[in-house]
Amino acid sequence: MRKKIVAGNWKMNLLKDDAIRFAEELNQGLFSTDNRTTDVFVFPGFTLLEAARQNAEYFKIGAQNFYPKQSGAFTGEVSIEQLKDLNLDVVIIGHSERRILFNESNQFIQEKLFSALDNDFTPILCIGETLDVRNNGHHFSFISEQLAAALNAFNAHQLEKLILAYEPVWAIGTGITASTEQAEEMHCHIRSWLTNNFSLELAEKISILYGGSCNEMNAKELFSCPNVDGGLIGGASLNAKQFLSIINIMNGLF
Ligand code: 13P
């Protein structure tokens, strides 16, 4: 049985006091939830990590980014060792904002995956096509290529901790969500790719999250898709009540 996961990516939002308040509210909400079958992750910005982690009781804190070198002259960067030092073990890799705005290449993303897995971190690897790619009808091959570029240097055993997030770029922060048909067919495509390139066993194990304008209004239909194992939530994760509603939608389905 695959893990059901709801994760919040705060991106470059909120301040320390917000993080503490959010953690208190979410703890309270999760504590009073009877059916806790969903794993909950929150990814605050670097400066909020410690405050959030210290206050998180029923959910886990992860980092949005890191630099895949052990240490050294990399001004402004944060290593995985430094994240470990904060008792963290989950990271997001390959978010489209990092690929597009910060020119992270497929090769660099693979390097980050190596570093994360080598250090026993759980990586959430994001993949997703732009609107142009979809309009040209190349979205399935594009996603296969992104998967191959990130994962082709690993074996199935190394990828057991991997979580994937399908985040179509055209759906991120736009208010336009993938339809249930679009989400389900892409998640099926990703799972078949994992079966063909690794094993059915691995494909059945890896949770595939959907991300892109997912909120309390559309989460139920998206999470009801058989191959959608949860959500990576941006805007709607900034408010503890809204985020909790999304988690409870997932809890209510299983
Ligand atoms: P939104 O939910 O704000 O569209 O962001 C999705 C996302 O990029 C999560 O990583």
95 assigned to active site: yes
Q: Where are the domains of the chain?
A: 4-253
Mean pLDDT of 129-139: 98
> With bands split at pLDDT 50, 70 and 90, how would you rate the model's confidence at 234?
very high
Ligand 1 geometric centre to CA of 3 (Å):
20
Q: What pLDDT was estimated at residue 121?
A: 98
Give the tens place of pLDDT for each residue, 142-197.
999 999 999 999 999 999 999 999 999 999 999 999 999 999 999 999 999 999 99
pTM: 0.97
The CATH number for 4-253, chosen from 3.40.50.300, 3.20.20.70, 3.30.390.50, 3.20.20.120, is 3.20.20.70
Euclidean distance between the first and final Cα of the chain, in Å?
Answer: 11
**Among protein residues, the one whose CA lies closest to atom 5 of ligand 1:** 234
What's the 205 CA to ligand 1 centre distance in angstroms? 24
Q: What are residue 203's phi and psi, to 5 degrees?
A: -60, -35
What residue owns the CA closest to ligand 1's atom 9?
234
Mutate which of 5, 96, 98, 214 for ligand 1? The one with the most ligand atoms within 8 Å of its CB, which is 214
| pLDDT attached to residue 33 | 79
**Confidence at residue 253, expressed as pLDDT on a 0 to 100 scale:** 87
235 Cβ inside 6 Å of ligand 1: yes
189 is catalytic: no
Distances (CA, A) of 66 to 71, 74, 79, 105, 138: 11, 11, 5, 15, 30
| 64 close to ligand 1 (CB < 6 Angstrom) | no
Predicted local distance difference test score (pLDDT) of residue 19? 98
Q: What is the pLDDT of residue 254?
A: 73
* Residue 2 DSSP class: P
Each residue's pLDDT tens digit, 206-221:
999 999 999 999 999 9
Catalytic residue among 97, 104, 129, 167: 167
Residues 6+ apart with CB under 8 A from 178: 168, 171, 186, 210, 212, 222
Ligand 1 site, residue 212, Cβ cutoff 6 A: yes
Q: Is the pLDDT of residue 39 over 80?
A: yes
d(CA 27, CA 38): 14
Q: What is the pLDDT of residue 1?
A: 83
Would residue 72 be called left, alpha or beta, if left means φ above 0 and alpha means ψ between -120 and 50 degrees? left
Give the distance (Å) from ligand 1 centre to CA of residue 234: 3
The pLDDT value given to residue 35: 59
| pLDDT surpassing 90 at residue 130 | yes
Residue 68's pLDDT band (boundaries 50, 70, 90)? Answer: very high
Say if residue 152 is exposed, middle or buried (CB neighbours under 10 Å; 0-12, 13-18, 19+). exposed
Closest CA to 210 of 109, 94, 127: 127
Is 9 close to ligand 1, i.e. is its CB under 6 Å away?
A: yes
